[in-house]
Amino acid sequence: MSMQSQDIIRRSATSGLTPPPQVRDHKLEVAKLIDVSICIGCKGCQVACSEWNDIRDEVGHNHGVYDNPVDLSAKSWTVMRFAEHQDEGGRLQWLIRKDGCMHCADPGCLKACPSPGAIIQYANGVVDFQSEQCIGCGYCVAGCPFNVPRINKDDNKAYKCTLCSDRLAVGQEPSCVKTCPTGAIQFGTKEDMKQVAAQRIKDLQARGFKNAGLYDPEGVGGTHVMYVLHHADRPELYSNLPKDPQISTTVSLWKGMLKPLATIGIAAAGLFGFLHYTTVGPNRAEEEDEHEQHETEEVSK
């Protein structure tokens, strides 16, 4: 990762006025293309991910469904989600989606993160967590529109798919791509992947999936993990893939408007005190008055 340090285009909790080094930000954007229509749900990608990244999740339990593990975790950065769907003709469709970080162009996790440099975005589009700088606040969890980051119980730090940034740095594809036996996961420049997807979509449409399309949601500026979906008009069929994901308004307000507003409020309070004291001066209770009055009281007694 240090080899890529010059390619960072965005850094969490870092002002645009003092950007990270970016002499090489001419780099081409990459993308992982997941063609849901040819995924057979073998979970080879899950295994490859654990193996390459050297993470060993606890062996869980069978929950009566194919999903295993049932959810992403700090030690399972990708999981296959299996959904059963009955189409108009009454036929069963098994919609299998490989879930994980989407590597948004406009990442909600990065926007929410308070720790400088704990989340970074490379010029090639990869969004990566620098775990040693993570403080475990979980703001990234709140910021993510896809519910991806997970906090690890052991070290209280957030983890997610790195898009195998270490492999990309030496010119290799992500491990899930390398292992996929059907070619359902492909990797290349984002432009190339869009072309591959266009071909596949044409093919699917010719085979009767008239709503087939590419999932590259605009609301987060596009993603660097894209899906080819047979039902691109209804992404929620695929285990609740959000239809129009975007950074939540609540998060935008918190990380946007509230900052200048708060600065003005606090500065105004401070400035008021300074100006008031220097112009009006302190409010003193005159001790002399007290004495005089006290004496007159004494006299009157």
In the complex, least distance from residue 126 CB atom to other proteins, rounded to whole angstroms:
22
In the complex, least distance from residue 280 CB atom to other proteins, rounded to whole angstroms:
6
Q: Interface residues with other proteins (CB under 8 A)?
A: 13-15, 114-116, 133, 135-139, 141-142, 147, 151, 153, 156, 248, 250-251, 253-254, 258-259, 261-262, 265-266, 268-270, 272-273, 276-277, 280-287, 289-291, 294, 297
Q: Which residue's CB is nearer to other proteins, number 42 or number 70?
A: 70
Select from 228, 229, 208 the least CA-distant residue to 88. Answer: 208
Q: Which residue's CB is nearer to other proteins, number 94 or number 272?
A: 272
In the complex, least distance from residue 294 CB atom to other proteins, rounded to whole angstroms:
7
Select from 29, 4, 6, 9 the least CA-distant residue to 19. Answer: 9
Residue type, 225: V
Q: Which residue's CB is nearer to other proteins, number 54 or number 297?
A: 297
80 touches 98 (CB < 8 A): yes
Tell me the C-alpha distance between 128 and 270, whole Å: 39
Tell me the C-alpha distance between 264 and 78, whole Å: 43
210 touches 231 (CB < 8 A): no
Partners of 300 in the beta sheet?
none
Partners of 229 in the beta sheet?
213
Q: Which residue's CB is nearer to other proteins, number 2 or number 15?
A: 15
In the complex, least distance from residue 230 CB atom to other proteins, rounded to whole angstroms:
28
Buried b (16+ CB within 10 A) or exposed e, 248-259: eeebbebbeeee
Q: Which residue's CB is nearer to other proteins, number 114 or number 208?
A: 114
Q: Which residue's CB is nearer to other proteins, number 83 or number 137?
A: 137
In the complex, least distance from residue 156 CB atom to other proteins, rounded to whole angstroms:
6
In the complex, least distance from residue 16 CB atom to other proteins, rounded to whole angstroms:
11
CA 40 to chain CA centroid, Å, is 27
101 touches 110 (CB < 8 A): no
